[in-house]
Copies of this chain bind each other. A is one copy, B any other.
Amino acid sequence: MNTTVTIDLQRASQLLKLLGDPTRLTMMKLLKSHECCVCEFVEIFKMSQPAISQHLRKLRDIELVKEERRGQWIFFSINEHHEDYPFIKSILEHLPDQNESIAELEAQGLRVCCQ
């Protein structure tokens, strides 16, 4: 049974705009199946740390992701309790898995959550 939840149009465009950035879209897809911390994203995307941080701030500000500090590291995870999560999920489901990125990180010994 597929019941699609209705979203306010302004809200939808706001969410779509956020996901319209390839980096943020990929982040969300990765976070759908894994937790990741900033330094892992820095490696995965080959981007500067502040750039990654800015992207994550946007996702966190709207509460699409949650953060949890573990010592030096801050782990991000997707907020499945978010009111608009079903909408986000329906979008992410169309995307190819990004698990190779994580696997590669592990192969290089750069995966943080294993520490």
Q: Which residues of A contact B (CB under 8 A)?
A: 2, 4-10, 12-14, 16-22, 25-26, 29, 87, 90-91, 93-96, 98
Contact = CB atoms under 8 A, between A and B. Distances in A.
Number of copies of this kind of chain in the complex: 2
A25 B87 CA distance: 15
Contacts of A96: 6, 8-9
A22 B13 contact: yes
Given A16-B16, A16-B91, A91-B91, A22 B10 contact: yes
Contacts of A5: 94
A96 B22 CA distance: 27
A110 to B, nearest CB: 22
B2 A22 contact: no
8 contacts: A9-B26, A10-B22, A12-B91, A13-B25, A14-B20, A16-B25, A17-B20, A20-B20
A9 to B, nearest CB: 6
Given A16-B91, A91-B91, A94-B87, A22 B4 contact: no
